Amino acid sequence: MHKKNVVVLGAGLMGSAIAADLSSDFNVTAADLNRDALERTGRKHGIKTLTADLSDSSALRSAVKGADIVVGALPGFMGHNMIKTLIPEKKDIVDISFFPEDPFSLDEPARENGVTVITDCGVAPGMSNIILGHHNSTMVVDSYECYVGGLPSVREWPWEYKAVFSPIDVIEEYIREARYVENGHMMAREALSDPQLLHFEGIGTLEAWNSDGLRTLIKTMQIPNMIEKTLRYPGSIEYLKVLREAGFFSYEEINVNGVRIRPVDVTASLLFPKWKLKPGEEDFTIMRIVVKGTEPDSGRLPGHLPGEKMTVTGMKEYVWELVDGYDKETGTISMARTTGYTCTAAVHLLVGGMFTGKGICPPEFLGENEENFNFILNHLKKRGVEYHKRIV
């Protein structure tokens, strides 16, 4: 059987893990401007590489010319334009870039071109959406809470944090207004607000605060109560607020000795080397999802036939938990595993014809089909990423 051609745009920590995982089943090409990253990816996994400036539209189109499917693993500020550029090329896309723009603004052109674009297909957003999509198709959900974080296994003063994404993308979490849904109304609070302390077995106590992680769920899910919070080691809110209020995360240019600069660029340049995981440093990913609602006794979907008699159980509470660590055997960080393997599961669904939706398809759409939901869980489990469910 002819192997499909997959082009992975971006050869950073996420992109290289995705390319490596797909290489056993597909002809994979990794494209990036960073020759060192490409060399590491190609040498380690025997993957074909392409040096290209993916911020240039013509170079981008050229990079995916022979692709059957495209994976986007670029920084968030490049994601939207990448998808917009490639839709007319009629390429199906699975993207993890977490771009700030509304993905549904691209739904019409994607449908017109018969293209499937699965956005936000990482861990959260990503697997968190898939789990909620599953429950929303089998019960009437009243509330959804997601607590998620990626942290270094060793706490090291002063930051007690390591960044595995683009530094600008990380800083966005600290400044972007956090949207959530309460009693059917969309609300917004500043990032880092409403702190909570949560205990996790084997990890200890972590600090949770409001972040803007619901994204497409606000539009696609008619659920009265939804919120996502980011998890960090306790104490992180204080220093992040100090940096934010002092202007270090600002995008507004300031004059420094006659030179116009954005403070956020200086901050990213200073902090990212300190936040970068050194070779061999271990991380872990932790997530807790709580879904509450009512289920029909018959197990039928909430949208049952008119006149059909149905009884519902009392309120049920499902708790999903993930605690994933660094893979010492392959040297793959946990965040790359949990993000990347959700993405590669979606690639397999598309290539195998198991998911056929067109237009902009956020991950919650993948979870609506029971077969696809179980496929994703098994795909992750085979790679050592296990989600544990309990009913409270």
Distance separating alpha carbons of residues 6 and 30, to the nearest angstrom: 9
Domain-located, residue 108:
yes
Residues 56 and 192 occupy one common structural domain: no
| pLDDT at residue 46 in the model | 81
Residues 172 and 263 occupy one common structural domain: yes
Distance separating alpha carbons of residues 168 and 23, to the nearest angstrom: 29
Contacts of 210 (CB under 8 A, 6+ apart): 178, 180, 189, 190, 191, 192, 193, 194, 227, 229
Residues 315 and 337 occupy one common structural domain: no
Contact 335, 309 (CB under 8 A): no
Contacts of 345 (CB under 8 A, 6+ apart): 375, 376, 379, 380
Distance separating alpha carbons of residues 189 and 184, to the nearest angstrom: 16
The number of folded domains in the chain is 2
Distance separating alpha carbons of residues 62 and 41, to the nearest angstrom: 20
Residues 274 and 309 occupy one common structural domain: yes
The last residue of one of the domains, among 325, 358, 375, is 325
Q: Which of 339, 337, 365 is nearest to 350 (CA)?
A: 365
Residues 113 and 134 occupy one common structural domain: no
Residues 250 and 137 occupy one common structural domain: yes
Residues 252 and 176 occupy one common structural domain: yes
Element (H, E) at 199: strand 196-200
Domain-located, residue 392:
no
| pLDDT at residue 45 in the model | 79
Distance separating alpha carbons of residues 130 and 377, to the nearest angstrom: 10
Residues 60 and 135 occupy one common structural domain: no
Residues 145 and 284 occupy one common structural domain: yes
Residues 154 and 299 occupy one common structural domain: yes
Alpha helices, DSSP H only, in 113-262?
A: 127-138, 167-175, 217-220, 236-245
The CATH number of whichever domain residue 97 belongs to comes to 3.40.50.720
| pLDDT at residue 380 in the model | 98
The CATH number of whichever domain residue 179 belongs to comes to 3.30.360.10
Contact 96, 126 (CB under 8 A): yes
| pLDDT at residue 199 in the model | 96
The last residue of one of the domains, among 296, 325, 354, is 325
| pLDDT at residue 306 in the model | 43
Query: What is the domain extent for residue 102?
Result: 5-122+333-387
Distance separating alpha carbons of residues 118 and 120, to the nearest angstrom: 7
Domain-located, residue 210:
yes
Domain-located, residue 166:
yes
Q: How confident is the prediction along the chain (392 residues), in pLDDT tens digits per residue?
A: 689 999 999 999 999 999 999 999 999 999 999 999 999 888 877 899 999 999 999 999 999 999 999 999 999 999 999 999 999 999 999 999 989 899 999 999 999 999 999 999 999 999 999 999 999 999 999 999 999 999 999 999 999 999 887 778 889 999 999 999 999 999 999 999 999 999 999 999 999 999 999 999 999 999 999 999 999 999 999 999 999 999 999 999 999 999 999 999 999 999 989 998 888 899 999 999 999 999 886 555 555 444 445 455 678 999 999 999 999 998 899 999 999 999 999 999 999 999 999 999 999 999 999 999 999 999 999 999 999 999 99
Tell me which amino acid residue 157 is: W
Distance separating alpha carbons of residues 239 and 181, to the nearest angstrom: 28
Residues 198 and 290 occupy one common structural domain: yes
User: What does pTM read for this prediction?
Assistant: 0.93
Domain-located, residue 50:
yes
How many alpha carbons fall within 13 Å on the CB side of residue 162? 21
The last residue of one of the domains, among 291, 309, 325, is 325
Residues 315 and 181 occupy one common structural domain: yes
Tokens of 238: 């204080």
Contact 18, 343 (CB under 8 A): yes
| pLDDT at residue 313 in the model | 61
Domain-located, residue 373:
yes
